Amino acid sequence: MGLLLFLCFVSISSLCNIGSSSTAGKVPYRDALLPNGDFEEAPKTSNLKKTVIVGKYSLPKWEINGLVEYISGGPQPGSFYFPVPRGEHAVRLGNEASVSQNVVVKPGSVYSLTFGATRTCAQDEVLRITVGARSADLSIQTLYSSDGGDTYAWAFKALSKVVKVTFHNPGIQEDPTCGPLLDHIAIKEMTPLRLTKGNLMKNGDFENGPHVFKNFSTGILLPPKIQDLISPLPGWIIESLKPVKYIDRKHFSVPSGLAAIELVAGRESAIAQIIRTTPNKFYNLSFTIGDAKNGCHGSMMVEAFAAKETLKVPFVSQGKGEFKTASIKFQAIDARTRITFYSAYYHTKIHDFGHMCGPVLDNVVVLPTY
Ligand SMILES: *[C@@H]1O[C@H](CO)[C@@H](O)[C@H](O)[C@H]1NC(C)=O
Ligand SMILES: *[C@@H]1O[C@H](CO)[C@@H](O)[C@H](O)[C@H]1NC(C)=O
C-alpha cells in the first residue's frame, strides 16, 4: 500500500486519482456540430409568430436576442429565395439580433468554428462573432459560391471552461428583417502546431485545419487578417482583403493528403508564413499547384515570394484535378523569412460565373540546401 501510494505520488496517471474529482468535468476532443448547430430542432409552433421566434429561450439549445427568424430554405414570400444547402432550416439575424450558446471547452486549447453564412438582402451585411472578450466582424458582402453554400471558419483560444459563443448582426437596415442567414455551426479543437522533420514550414501540407462538413461543402473561406497561432489554419497568415478557401479531398481534388488551399480571390488574397532562417544561408522552397477539379478552367498563375526571390508559376487548368510542383532557391537575408503566395488572376467557374475559384496550393516545403 505504501508503495502504491508512493507510485501514485510520483505518477501523474489519472488511474491513481481514486476519489478525486479532477477527471470529472473532462471535456473530450471535439470535432462536431454544436448542439442544434444545424437548427433542425425547431421552436414550438406556439413560439413562432410567422417566422419570428418569440421568447429568449424558444430556439432549442440557443439563447436569442432581437429579431431572429426561423426559416426554411427555398422560395419565400416577396420573391426572396433563401438558400439552405444543408438540411432544411436556418436562422436569419435581423437588425442587431443575435443567437448564442454556452460551450464547454478546455482552457488553453484553440478551437475553430465552422459555419454557413450568407447575406439575404443586397446591402452590406456583417456577421459579428464573439467568444469571451474576442470578437471579429466578418464581411459577407461578397458571395463566393452561387448556391448559398458559403462557409467560414474563425478560431479562438479558450480562456475558461465555458465560453459564450455569439453570432450577432450589428447592422441596422431599413428592412429590420434583412440580415445574415446562419446555418450549420460546428466546432473543432485544433491540435497544436508541430514542426515536422524535413520541412521548415509549419502545416505546409494544410492538413491541420477547421472542421469540414461531411455531407456538402463548397470549401471553407478563411477570412483575411488571420494571424499565426489562433487560427483555423495554424501557422499561416491570411493577408490582404479577401479570404482563401480551405478545400478537402472528399469534395474536391487535392494534390495530396486530405486538404489544400484554393486561392479564390486573385491578388486580393495572399497566404503567408514567417519561418526561422539563418542569414545568408540558401534554402529551397517547393510547392504544388493545380486545380481542384471543380469546373475552374483557364490560364492560372501562382506567384511565390521568399526573401528577394519571386517565382511565377503558370498552370493551365483543364478542370481535371491536375497538378505540378515548382521550386525556387533563395538566400535568407534575416533570421526570419516571409514566404508568401497569391494567385495573379481572378477566376470563376466555366459554367457558373457567380462562383469564384482559383488555383490550388499544397505541399509547401522549405529546406536548407548545401
Ligand atoms: C447527410 O445527409 C443525409 C441525407 O440528407 C442525412 O440523413 C444525414 O443525417 C446527413 N449527415 C450529416 C453528418 O449531416
Ligand atoms: C528543391 O526541391 C525540389 C522538390 O523536392 C527539387 O525537385 C529540386 O531539385 C530542389 N532544388 C534544389 C536547387 O535543391
Ligand closest to the CA atom of residue 325 = 2
The model's pTM is 0.88
- Is 250 near ligand 1, meaning CB less than 6 Å away? no
Q: Measured between alpha carbons, how far is 86 from 321 in angstroms, rounded to an integer?
A: 25
Residue 3 inside a domain? The answer is no
Residue 194 inside a domain? The answer is no
- Is 368 near ligand 2, meaning CB less than 6 Å away? no
Pair (153, 276) in one structural domain:
no
Pair (129, 264) in one structural domain:
no
The per-residue pLDDT for 3 is 42
Q: Find the distance separating the first CA and the last CA of the chain, reported in whole Å.
A: 59
The per-residue pLDDT for 189 is 96
Ligand closest to the CA atom of residue 212 = 1
Residue 175 inside a domain? The answer is yes
Taking the centre of ligand 2 as the mean of its atom positions, its distance from the CA of residue 196, in whole angstroms, is 18
Pair (225, 343) in one structural domain:
yes
Q: Are 94 and 67 in contact (CB under 8 A)?
A: yes
In CATH, what number is assigned to the domain containing residue 248? 2.60.120.260
Taking the centre of ligand 2 as the mean of its atom positions, its distance from the CA of residue 331, in whole angstroms, is 14
**Looking up cell 442544434, which residue turns up?**
36
Q: Measured between alpha carbons, how far is 48 from 339 in angstroms, rounded to an integer?
A: 52
- Is 281 near ligand 1, meaning CB less than 6 Å away? no
Pair (225, 157) in one structural domain:
no
Q: Which of 361, 241, 237 is nearest to 311 (CA)?
A: 361
**Residues sharing a CB contact under 8 Å with residue 24, sequence separation 6 or more, in sequence order:** none
Pair (266, 163) in one structural domain:
no
**Looking up cell 482583403, which residue turns up?**
241
Taking the centre of ligand 2 as the mean of its atom positions, its distance from the CA of residue 333, in whole angstroms, is 20
- Is 215 near ligand 1, meaning CB less than 6 Å away? yes
How big is the chain by its Cα radius of gyration, in Å?
Answer: 23
Which residues span the domain enclosing 181?
Answer: 31-189
- Is 324 near ligand 2, meaning CB less than 6 Å away? no
Taking the centre of ligand 2 as the mean of its atom positions, its distance from the CA of residue 286, in whole angstroms, is 7
Pair (53, 154) in one structural domain:
yes
Residue 65 inside a domain? The answer is yes
Pair (41, 140) in one structural domain:
yes
* Nearest CA, atom 6, ligand 2: 327
Pocket test for ligand 2, best of 205, 281, 284, 339 (most atoms within 8 A of CB): 284
Q: Which of 154, 161, 292, 165 is nearest to 230 (CA)?
A: 154
Q: Measured between alpha carbons, how far is 247 from 360 in angstroms, rounded to an integer?
A: 9
- Is 36 near ligand 2, meaning CB less than 6 Å away? no
Domain count, the chain: 2
Q: Are 252 and 242 in contact (CB under 8 A)?
A: no
Residue 37 inside a domain? The answer is yes
Ligand closest to the CA atom of residue 309 = 2
The strand pair at 282-290 and 220-222 is best described as: unpaired
**How many residues does this entry show for the chain?**
370
The per-residue pLDDT for 116 is 93
Residue 294's SS3 state is: coil
Residue 90 inside a domain? The answer is yes
Instruction: Report in angstroms the alpha-carbon separations of 259 from 30, 187, 193, 230, 364.
Output: 19, 18, 16, 19, 13
Q: Measured between alpha carbons, how far is 272 from 334 in angstroms, rounded to an integer?
A: 16
The per-residue pLDDT for 92 is 93
Taking the centre of ligand 2 as the mean of its atom positions, its distance from the CA of residue 314, in whole angstroms, is 18
Residue 12 inside a domain? The answer is no
Q: Are 319 and 293 in contact (CB under 8 A)?
A: yes
- Is 286 near ligand 2, meaning CB less than 6 Å away? yes
Ligand closest to the CA atom of residue 184 = 1
Going residue by residue through the chain (370 aa), what tens digit of pLDDT does each one get? Answer: 344 444 434 333 333 333 334 444 678 889 999 999 999 999 999 999 999 999 999 999 999 999 999 998 877 776 677 777 777 899 999 999 999 999 999 999 999 999 999 888 867 788 999 998 888 998 888 888 877 778 999 999 999 999 999 999 998 877 877 889 999 999 999 998 888 888 999 999 999 999 999 888 889 999 887 666 688 999 999 987 889 999 999 999 999 999 999 999 888 889 999 999 999 999 999 999 999 999 999 999 999 999 999 999 999 999 999 999 999 999 999 999 999 999 999 998 888 877 889 999 999 999 999 7
Q: Measured between alpha carbons, how far is 126 from 167 in angstroms, rounded to an integer?
A: 10
**Per residue in 127-149, is it b (16+ CB within 10 Å) or e — as a string?**
bbbbbeeeeeebebeebbbbebb
Taking the centre of ligand 1 as the mean of its atom positions, its distance from the CA of residue 74, in whole angstroms, is 18
Ligand closest to the CA atom of residue 217 = 1
**Residues sharing a CB contact under 8 Å with residue 233, sequence separation 6 or more, in sequence order:** 153, 203, 206, 208, 209, 210, 222, 226, 246, 261
Taking the centre of ligand 1 as the mean of its atom positions, its distance from the CA of residue 215, in whole angstroms, is 6
Task: Show the cell assigned to 201.
Answer: 514550414
* Nearest CA, atom 14, ligand 1: 215
* Nearest CA, atom 4, ligand 2: 286
Q: Measured between alpha carbons, how far is 244 from 147 in angstroms, rounded to an integer?
A: 18
